[in-house]
Amino acid sequence: MFNLGDIITMKKPHACGVNRWEIIRLGADIKIKCMGCGHIVMIPRAEFNKKFKKVLTPAADVDTAEEKLYLPQNQIMRPNKLDQQEDL
């Protein structure tokens, strides 16, 4: 359905007028980032499933040169991975 790094749309647009979001965290809560202004929102999974509309671009197909606010998957910090935290 949706994965980490996908660009999605929600049923209603963000206050900045853009309806494109990047999924930057998955779990009991889902963290998404607005691709228009960069605002980050954390939503409980149940609420997210109600507001989710569709996947626009899967993470593997995103053109990072075209998306200036896109955070590539290798830069997203995964929970419970100490080796990635030491690299920062």
Mean pLDDT of the chain: 83
- Map tokens 């830069």 to a residue: 75
H/E segment holding residue 85 = helix 82-87
12-28: string of b/e by CB count within 10 Å (b at 16+)? eebeeeebbbbbbbbee
Q: Which of 66, 48, 64, 68 is nearest to 8 (CA)?
A: 48
- Alpha-carbon dihedral sign for residues 49, 51, 55, 59: negative
Q: What pLDDT, in 10s, does the model give residues 1-36?
A: 898 889 999 999 999 999 999 999 899 999 999 999
pTM over 0.95: no
Q: Where are the domains of the chain?
A: 7-87
Mean pLDDT over residues 68-85, rounded?
Answer: 61
